[in-house]
Structure 1
Amino acid sequence: MKSNSLKDLGALRDAMRAAQAEAAAARAREAAEAARRERERHAFAHAVGPVTPMKAPRRAERTAPLPTPEPRQRELDEQAALREALSDEVDVETLLLTDDGLSFRRPDVGPDVLNKLRRGQWAIQGQLDLHGKRRDEAREALSSFIRQAHQQGRRCVRVVHGKGHGSPGKTPVLKSKVQRWLAQRREVMAFAQAPGPQGGAGALVVLLASK
């Protein structure tokens, strides 16, 4: 038993010595690496010479607010979609009421609402004048105007299409087209010919859906 214990102690002592030797070798390698890096740093400093740190450049302070980002590409896409969506060929005559002003209302809009439009009892909150515009220009302008007015929460607007005095045959070219276009807009709940003080036969009073 005593012989075995001495052997175990000897093995433990040898393991401890091996571990100590390995630790000392590791410390020596670390010291050698640190010395190498220090030599390289001194060699670089000697080769480059004295170095003066550069001063940080002065930056102008921004005083004007940044412009609000505008979704221009989305607006262009929407305009292109609107040009395709509003057709001149859509037959909306069956939706127009057969009165002198060829009024229009959705099925869920009561006749009393339309009567108020005819009599000018709704406050006009915006106006679009289409005088002098070609067909495509007028269609795009009308689409943008209706969309923006609805987004702004406006309920009643006026669209001036003219009486056609300057058109061939003295007929209002845009009038029937504007009626078709308006009837295709989901925001439009009703429209009627404007009363005399608000433009008469040369304009329409348009009721928009609530936002």
Structure 2
Amino acid sequence: MSRKGKSLTVDDRILWGQVAKTVDAYPGRMEALLDSQPQAGPAPEKKSAGPAGPLAPKRPMAAPSKKPGLAPRALNPIDKPVYKKLAKGRVPLEARIDLHGLTQSEAHDLLLGFLIRAHARGLRHVLVITGKGQSRGGDGVLRRSVPRWLGAAEFHGLASGCEPAARGHGGDGALYVRLKKREHGP
């Protein structure tokens, strides 16, 4: 369902503000967004007809803390010999996903599901196509975000390495992702 013409709720604005802090805005765009936000005032009280769902916060969410343990972990680079074999096709890319043209939210969810399934199948090397994203003079939101996502908590246990792909596989618009080995039960 489209929300065209509808304004955001207070909770939606809080959530959007937290997301917006994690990305770089186009020049001049942030000022326009700040001007369109409502004046600070008491938030209207909500009357709940039933129990609150998992997405309905009872109080405004606090800003994420800057504790060093919560920062995304950096992934290791893929070993040079393996990288060369991937680039030349001697080590197969067992699966691929194309994210370019998607929004960050769509791409994040699709990538997470893809990597979970690939890891469950025991795959080791996959190709993630982000696109170069050079329209509007930027360097590509997905191209910049995907490596950061791979180090985030929800991807923990899935990816162990990440490198820009060789020219034949998409170059700067794609990534080789090495998945962690699947742990076998007792």
2:147 is matched by which residue type in structure 1?
Q
C-alpha separation in 1, matches of 2:171 and 2:132: 9
1:169 maps onto 2:140 in alignment: no
Runs of 5+ in structure 2 lacking a partner? 1-53, 55-63
What residue in structure 2 maps to residue 180 of structure 1? 148
Question: Residues 132 and 139 of structure 2 are in contact (CA less than 8 Å); yes or no, is this contact kept in structure 1?
Answer: yes
CA distance in 2, matches of 1:177, 1:141: 14
Contact 1:194 1:203 in 2 (8 A): yes
Q: 1:151-180 deviations in whole A, cap 9, x for unaligned?
A: 111111100000113x32142111121001
- What residue number does 1:50 align with? none
Q: Partner of 2:151: helix, strand, or coil?
A: helix
Contact 2:100–2:142, Cα closer than 8 Å, also in 1: no
Corresponding position of 2:35? none
Structure 1 counterpart of 2:4: none
- One-letter identity of the residue aligned with 1:128: I
Report 1:53-68 matches (<5 A). none
Task: Please tell me whether the aligned partners of residues 99 and 128 of structure 2 are also in contact (alpha carbons under 8 angstroms).
Answer: yes
Query: Match of 2:165?
Result: 194
Structure-2 change in CA distance of 1:110 and 1:162 (3 Å): closer
Decide which of 154, 162, 172 is 2:123's aligned counterpart: 154
* Count of residue pairs the alignment pairs up: 113
Q: Evaluate the alpha carbon distance shift between residue 155 and residue 194 of structure 1 in structure 2; reply closer, same or farther with a 3 A threshold.
A: same
Structure whose alpha-carbon radius of gyration is higher: 1
Sort the Cα spacing of 1:172 and 1:105 in 2 relative to 1 into closer, same or farther, 3 A: same
- What residue is the counterpart of 2:93 in the other structure? 124
Distance 1:163 1:196, change over 3 A: same
Q: Call closer, same or farther: CA 1:118–1:191 in 2, change over 3 Å.
A: farther
Q: Aligned AA for 1:206? A: V
5+ residue gaps, structure 1: 1-76, 78-86, 96-103
The 3 A distance-change label for structure 1 pair 105 and 120 is farther
Equivalent pairs: percent with the same residue? Answer: 33
The normalised TM-score by structure 2 is 0.52
Indicate if the aligned counterparts of 1:192 and 1:205 stay in contact, CA closer than 8 A: yes
Change (3 A) 1:91 1:172: farther
Higher helix share: 1
TM norm structure 1: 0.46
Q: CA deviation at 1:117?
A: 4.7
Distance 1:176 1:121 in 2: 28
1:210 is aligned with what amino acid?
K
* 1:183 shift after superposition: 2.1
Shift of 1:133: 0.7
Query: Which deviations, in whole Å up to 9, do the C-alpha atoms of 1:2-60 show, x marking residues without a partner?
Result: xxxxxxxxxxxxxxxxxxxxxxxxxxxxxxxxxxxxxxxxxxxxxxxxxxxxxxxxxxx
